[in-house]
C-alpha cells in the first residue's frame, strides 16, 4: 500500500529524462540475440518486464551483461539459440511472450512458457494461429498460457491481421526471418513499427519493406550486432505530460523522448484538447526523438476518439480518459475493445477506480463516455492498481488533483514499466 500525500498547492516544474522505451528495450535484446556479434545498447529500460526478456535469452545461452549501464549482448545469429533447460517464466510481460513465440516457432527445440496470474488470462491464440500456419506446433491451455512451442521449419505466409496488434505483427515478422520465402502481412491499421525499423538497422540488407497497409519480410536475411540508443519512453513521459497539463502553474521539459509517428497519439490528443505542448530539438533518427515542453492550461476541450486513432495511443487510453474527465464537456472513446485484454480489463478498472474519485465515467463495451468536470470530489480514498502498472501511475497522476491523502493498493506493479516513477514525479513537484 502506498500513501499518495495530498497535493498542497504543488506544481510540476523543471526538466526530466524519462527511462528508455519498453517496447524498444524488449526488441533490442531479442534482435541483438539473433544477430551476429556484439551489440551495445544504451538507455535500456531496467524494469521487471524488460528484465524478463533478458533472463529468457540468457536461459537460451546468450551472454548479456550490464557494463556501466550499457547492455552488451553477444549475439549468436539466427540459429545460435540453445534449448532452455527449464520452462521460461514470462512474468507479467505480454510483449516478451508474444514476440519471443515468433522466434521460438522456428527453433529446432521445444520450449515451455508460463506467466503470472494476469498474463495467464491474456489471449495467446492471436499468435498461436498464425505461427501454427507457418509450421510450428503450439499447444496452449484453452488459448492461454502455459504454452508449449515445438519449433519447426517455417513456411512463408500471406496473413491478414484480424486485430490491430503490434505484438502479433512482430511475432509473425520474427518467425518470417526463418521462412522459406517472403512473408506478407496485411493490416488495415498501422501499429507501432519498432520491429520493422530495428530489423532494417540490424539487417545486412533491407529485411522489411513497408507500405501503408502491408509489410513484406525477406527471409534468410542476416543480422549483424549494432550500437543502439533507446529513446525515452513516450508512454512513460505521457504521465508527466498529462500531470503538467492539469496541475495549475506547471511547466516542464521532457528530454529525448521517442516520437515515432506510430506512438504519438497522446500528443495529437493533447493538442486537439487545447493543451500547451511543443517539440524542441527534433532529430529524425532511426527512432525519432524530441524534447517535449508542456505548460498547464485552464481549459481543456472534450475529445472524440474512434477506432482508427486507437493503436497510436493504446497504452495511454487510461490517461486520456483522465484528461477527458477534466475537460469542459462530454468526451467519447470508441473502438478500444483491446483494452479488455491488457494487464487488467482496463475498461473496467479505469471506470471503477475513476468513480472512486467522483469522476463521471461510463464503461462502454468498446471504450468510455466521460462527462468532464472542473473539480472532482473524492468518494473513496482507497484506490487500487489491481496489479496493473499503467492504472497505478494514472491514479497517482489523478491524486495530484486532491488535497486529501489517497491510498494506492498494489502500487508495486509500477515497476513493471517504470521503477523510478515516484522518484521522477517527486523531482518535478515543486511548492
Ligand atoms: O508491441 C509492443 O511492444 C506493444 C504493443 C501493444 O500491445 P498489442 O500489440 O497487444 O496492442 C501495447 O499495448 C504493449 O504495451 C506493447
Ligand atoms: C500492455 C502492456 O504491456 P504488455 O502487453 O507487454 O504486457 C503495457 O505496457 O501497457
pLDDT in tens, 257-273: 999 999 999 999 999 99
> Would you state the pLDDT for residue 220?
79
> Would you state the pLDDT for residue 188?
83
Helix (H) or strand (E) holding 38: strand 36-42
Which residues partner with 144 through β-bridges? 141
Q: Tell how far the Cα of 278 is from the centroid of ligand 2, in angstroms.
A: 27
Domain boundaries for CATH 3.65.10.10 within the chain: 2-20+232-430, 22-229
Active site residues: 315
pLDDT in tens, 270-301: 999 999 999 999 999 999 999 999 999 999 99
Q: Are 118 and 386 in contact (CB under 8 A)?
A: no
Fold annotation for 2-20+232-430: UDP-n-acetylglucosamine1-carboxyvinyl-transferase; Chain (3.65.10)
Do the annotations mark residue 108 as ligand-binding?
A: no
Q: Tell me the three cell numbers of residue 313.
A: 495511443
For the cut 80, the answer to whether the pLDDT of residue 92 exceeds it is yes
Do the annotations mark residue 28 as ligand-binding?
A: no
Atom of ligand 1 nearest to the CA of 342: 13
C-alpha distances (whole Å) from 136 to each of 82, 131, 148, 162 are 17, 6, 10, 20
Separation CA 173–CA 183 (nearest Å): 8
CATH 3.40.50.11810 corresponds to the domain 22-229: no
Residue to mutate, 315, 341, 419, ligand 2, most ligand atoms under 8 Å from C-beta: 315
For the cut 80, the answer to whether the pLDDT of residue 244 exceeds it is yes
Give the distance from CA 91 to its chain's centroid.
15
> Would you state the pLDDT for residue 211?
84
> Would you state the pLDDT for residue 212?
77
Mean pLDDT of the chain: 97
User: Which residue has its alpha carbon closest to ligand 1 atom 15?
Assistant: 315
Residue with cell 491478414: 160
Separation CA 115–CA 375 (nearest Å): 40
C-alpha distances (whole Å) from 318 to each of 121, 230, 385 are 20, 25, 12
> Would you state the pLDDT for residue 205?
94
Q: What is the DSSP string of 90-121?
A: -TT-HHHHHHHHHHHTTSSSEEEEE--TTGGG
Angle at 17 between CA 12 and CA 21, to 5 degrees: 120
SS3 state of residue 350: helix
Q: Are 39 and 73 in contact (CB under 8 A)?
A: yes
Do the annotations mark residue 167 as ligand-binding?
A: yes
ipTM (interface pTM): 0.99
Name all residues whose Cβ lies below 6 A of ligand 2: 49, 93-95, 315, 342-343, 390, 417
Q: Are 159 and 204 in contact (CB under 8 A)?
A: no
pLDDT in tens, 179-235: 999 999 999 899 999 999 999 999 999 999 998 789 999 997 899 999 999 999 999
- Tell me which ligand sits closest to the C-alpha of residue 93: 2
Higher pLDDT among residues 72 and 213, named by residue: 72
Q: Are 54 and 62 in contact (CB under 8 A)?
A: no
Q: Quick one: three-class SS letters along 373-407? A: CCCCCCCCCEEECCCCHHHHHHHHHHHCCCCCCEE
Higher pLDDT among residues 383 and 188, named by residue: 383
For the cut 80, the answer to whether the pLDDT of residue 344 exceeds it is yes
Do the annotations mark residue 137 as ligand-binding?
A: no
In the structure, what pLDDT confidence band is assigned to residue 320 with cuts at 50, 70 and 90? very high
Across 394-409, average pLDDT = 98
Separation CA 161–CA 214 (nearest Å): 10
Residue to mutate, 161, 192, 263, 265, ligand 1, most ligand atoms under 8 Å from C-beta: 192
pLDDT over 70 percentage in the chain: 100
Residue 280: Cβ-neighbour burial (10 angstroms; 0-12, 13-18, 19+): exposed
Residue 91: Cβ-neighbour burial (10 angstroms; 0-12, 13-18, 19+): buried
Amino acid at each position: 500500500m502506498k500513501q499518495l500525500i495530498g497535493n498542497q498547492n504543488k506544481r510540476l516544474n523543471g526538466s526530466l529524462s524519462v527511462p528508455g522505451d519498453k517496447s524498444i528495450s524488449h526488441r533490442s535484446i531479442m534482435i541483438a540475440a539473433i544477430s551476429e556479434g556484439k551489440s551495445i545498447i544504451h538507455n535500456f529500460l531496467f524494469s521487471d518486464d524488460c528484465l524478463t526478456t533478458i533472463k529468457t535469452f540468457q536461459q537460451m545461452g546468450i551472454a548479456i551483461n550490464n557494463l556501466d549501464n550499457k547492455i552488451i549482448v553477444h549475439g549468436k545469429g539466427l540459429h545460435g539459440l540453445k534449448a532452455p533447460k527449464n520452462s521460461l517464466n514470462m512474468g507479467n510481460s505480454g510483449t516478451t511472450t508474444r514476440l519471443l513465440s515468433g522466434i521460438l516457432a522456428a527453433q529446432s527445440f521445444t520450449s515451455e512458457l508460463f506467466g503470472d496470474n494476469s498474463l495467464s488470462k491474456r489471449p495467446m491464440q492471436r499468435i498461436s494461429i498464425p505461427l501454427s500456419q507457418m509450421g510450428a506446433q503450439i499447444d496452449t491451455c484453452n488459448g492461454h498460457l502455459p504454452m508449449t512451442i515445438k519449433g519447426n521449419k517455417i513456411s512463408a505466409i500471406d496473413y491478414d491481421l484480424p486485430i490491430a496488434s503490434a505484438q502479433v505483427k512482430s511475432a509473425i515478422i520474427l518467425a518470417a526471418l526463418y521462412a522459406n520465402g517472403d512473408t506478407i502481412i496485411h493490416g488495415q491499421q498501422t501499429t507501432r513499427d519498432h520491429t520493422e525499423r530495428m530489423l532494417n538497422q540490424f539487417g545486412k540488407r533491407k529485411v522489411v519493406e513497408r507500405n501503408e497497409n502491408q509489410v513484406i519480410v525477406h527471409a534468410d536475411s542476416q543480422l549483424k550486432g549494432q550500437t543502439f540508443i533507446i529513446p525515452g519512453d513516450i508512454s512513460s513521459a505521457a504521465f508527466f505530460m498529462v500531470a503538467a497539463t492539469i496541475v495549475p502553474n506547471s511547466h516542464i521539459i521532457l528530454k529525448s523522448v521517442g516520437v515515432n509517428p506510430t506512438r504519438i497519439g497522446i500528443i495529437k490528443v493533447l493538442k486537439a484538447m487545447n493543451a500547451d505542448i511543443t517539440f524542441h530539438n527534433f532529430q529524425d533518427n532511426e527512432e525519432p526523438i524530441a524534447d517535449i515542453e508542456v505548460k498547464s492550461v485552464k481549459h481543456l476541450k472534450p475529445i472524440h476518439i474512434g477506432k482508427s486513432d486507437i493503436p497510436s495511443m493504446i497504452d495511454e487510453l487510461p490517461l486520456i480518459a483522465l484528461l477527458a474527465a477534466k475537460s469542459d464537456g462530454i468526451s467519447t472513446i470508441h473502438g478500444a475493445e483491446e483494452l479488455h485484454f491488457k494487464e487488467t480489463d482496463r475498461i473496467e478498472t479505469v471506470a471503477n477506480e475513476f468513480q472512486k474519485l467522483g469522476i463521471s465515467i461510463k464503461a462502454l463495451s468498446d471504450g468510455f463516455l466521460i462527462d468532464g468536470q472542473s473539480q472532482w470530489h473524492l468518494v473513496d480514498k482507497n484506490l487500487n492498481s489491481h496489479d496493473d502498472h499503467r492504472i497505478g501511475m494514472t491514479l497517482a497522476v489523478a491524486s495530484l488533483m486532491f488535497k486529501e491523502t489517497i491510498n494506492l493498493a498494489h502500487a508495486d506493479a509500477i515497476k513493471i514499466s517504470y521503477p523510478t516513477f515516484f522518484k521522477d514525479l517527486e523531482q518535478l513537484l515543486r511548492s
